[in-house]
Amino acid sequence: MLAKDIREMSEGDINARIVELERERFNLRLASGTRTLDDPLRLRVIRRDVARLNTVLREKIIGIAEAKETGPKRVQARRVTGRLGRKAATATNRAKRSKRA
């Protein structure tokens, strides 16, 4: 279940889905005590879906708008490899620091 799909749901639908998943999770936990589950990873998927649903529900309650699709802008770090690269990088940093002083 994707967050953008959840955001399209109403609060009542989200709450109903949470109850449904919690019931399924409870039944799987009971079954895991008595037998081997066919899909043991289903417990993890349910737990994460419930967390995702609760997060989106909380966003709706406090009125947080959907985040931008582009995300934060990342600055590309300078690639420093090997001993000489590290020495050059520190020499460059020393030169920058001495100019400031």
For residue 100, the model assigns a pLDDT of 66
For residue 63, the model assigns a pLDDT of 85
| N residues, the chain | 101
> What does the pLDDT average to over 64-72?
61
Higher pLDDT, 100 or 13: 13
Fold topology of 3-62: Helix Hairpins (1.10.287)
What integer best gives the mean pLDDT of the chain? 83
Q: What is the pLDDT of residues 5-44, one digit of tens each?
A: 999 999 999 999 999 999 999 999 999 999 999 999 999 9
List the domain boundaries for the chain.
Answer: 3-62
With bands split at pLDDT 50, 70 and 90, how would you rate the model's confidence at 64? confident
Give the phi and the psi of residue 38 in degrees, each rounded to 5.
-70, -40
